[in-house]
Structure 1
């Protein structure tokens, strides 16, 4: 499969790392990378990463070509991706974060790519997909949204709990590390709380996952509410879900049923260890359920907690969905 990456930021660089260093990248050829940042900066930020550490191989730049462990990848600095020749590209990974209009989302197709996969929520997408939850909805769509990192984490968890015990209603809080959407120190933004320094405070805010859960799991529409708290850590986030179940359960029986289902999932993990967020860095699962933090109150109220690397896990799902988009 041939892919191109448009936007070489956090997700674009993480996708390339996974292609080059993990079995998930088997059979994938990266035709080119496009980013308006100059080539030297692109190469530098790929080689040295504050979250995941230095790239474990050889990285160099030769005449506008990124050379990684002997592979040569063309680097472009086109503001408009339609100026590129993407003929033969199976999937354009649209990772700029700006493809929110039909015009911007279709530019990859105009350039010659067969399909476009957007690394975030986008009203311009034909379908929003969470791998392992509703990827059957792809059905030949050419412009697809990979939803958000939190939607990927929550949707898989909610689907699991509903399948095992039935969810009457639930509330989710994502405890989310800071991102580039927040300032490092107080700076005016559209939202008062999100204008505060992300590295200095816990910031209560909203999450797009709540709308997207209704999209990818329509049978649970209106049953799940949620919010977010941005916290001063650089990577790995968490989901804290409290759900009222449709049936009565003994705690040990429910934990056994949830564990068995999670262990059979292509996107979920399970841990019995008392882990902290840094232990989950660079894990590819959409969510790793933490058994020590999961418990019942009575027989019908469940509190379930899980970790997710919001960059690495999300990038892994980008690659899974890209493969699923192929006929």
Structure 2
């Protein structure tokens, strides 16, 4: 099978992680990257964030042992000539373009499929959280979201729990590292709270994970509430979940053992840890979910509180897994036709 020809729009933290992962994975060939930054700055940021990555800059190309990647200084999807590079899929990783009006131009410019690294602002062909609902993928899907790190982590916890136990209610607080769309100083933004300094404040925030987790997991529809706190740390985010079970007397060991077993079954997807970790210890974990066994506690007869961690590297891996799911569907369709 030929490598999947990837185009990446946006070379921020997630975009660079996607490139770093893809050049070390024979399933993928990153043929083009689109970003407003100059080639020299993009290469500098890439090599500063991954000192072990041997990538050189030759004119407007990133050159590695795996091949050459064209760097384009382009600001919008309408300006990006994906057809020139014969891409199989574009990963939209800017975090800026989340509506159909913004995403369709990728298709118009030659991309057969677009995978969004964030949650969309409106209904698209599919939101696919790898490890949760990848079996729902259809070969005709063209605009797909791979969700977000906190959405996938939340959905994984709830899928594992509801696969064994009935629940009455779940409440999730996402304690999230500050993001690139937050300003370091107080600066007028989209709302009052997000106009405050991300480096100095704990900022309460709504989370779109509330809607999309219930969309992909119908078994928790109407049973979930969620909120987010953006906190002044750069890397490492945490989920604080409280789950009300239908059955009484479910204990801490039972819940922890459930996740230990799940981690053994799918070690690339989730992991458990019994050490007293903090947010900076989470940097570089490749899984989507790190369950903190010390954080599981009883809260009444029917309620359990859990802590779990995640980082953007795990989400970047899941984005590539979503791309691979669709490549497999395309391959199967070609075999059927031939």
For the pair 1:76 / 2:79, whether they are aligned, the reply is no
1:16 Cα deviation after fit: 0.7
1:20 Cα deviation after fit: 2.8
Q: Number of residue pairs matched?
A: 319
Q: 1:164 to 1:124 in 2, by over 3 A?
A: closer
Runs (4+) of structure 1 exceeding 4 A deviation are none
1:86 Cα deviation after fit: 4.8
1:324 Cα deviation after fit: 0.5
Distance (whole Å) between structure 1 residues aligned to residue 295 and residue 84 of structure 2: 47
Partner of 2:92 in structure 1?
A: 94
Unaligned runs of 5+ in 2: 330-338
Query: More displaced, 169-178 or 205-214?
Result: 205-214
SS at match of 2:228: strand
Unaligned runs of 5+ in 1: none
Query: More displaced, 295-304 or 260-269?
Result: 260-269
Distance (whole Å) between structure 2 residues aligned to residue 316 and residue 288 of structure 1: 15
Q: Pairwise mapping of residues 273-284 of structure 1 onto structure 2 (< 5 A)?
A: 273-284=275-286
For the pair 1:60 / 2:56, whether they are aligned, the reply is yes
Q: 1:33 to 1:87 in 2, by over 3 A?
A: closer
Q: 1:101 to 1:230 in 2, by over 3 A?
A: closer
Partner of 1:307 in structure 2?
A: 309
For the pair 1:144 / 2:144, whether they are aligned, the reply is yes
**Deviations 1:173-225 (CA, angstroms, capped at 9, x unpaired):** 11111111211011111221111111112111111111111111122111110
Contact 1:78–1:84 at 8 Å: present in 2 too?
no
Partner of 2:332 in structure 1?
A: none
SS at match of 1:30: strand
Contact 1:242–1:303 at 8 Å: present in 2 too?
yes
Partner of 2:21 in structure 1?
A: 18
Aligned partner (choices 3, 6, 9) of residue 6 of structure 2:
3
Distance (whole Å) between structure 2 residues aligned to residue 233 and residue 315 of structure 1: 19
**Deviations 1:4-44 (CA, angstroms, capped at 9, x unpaired):** 111212211110111234xxx23211111111221111111
Distance (whole Å) between structure 1 residues aligned to residue 186 and residue 105 of structure 2: 36
Distance (whole Å) between structure 2 residues aligned to residue 301 and residue 204 of structure 1: 24
Distance (whole Å) between structure 2 residues aligned to residue 227 and residue 154 of structure 1: 12
Contact 1:105–1:125 at 8 Å: present in 2 too?
no
Partner of 1:39 in structure 2?
A: 39
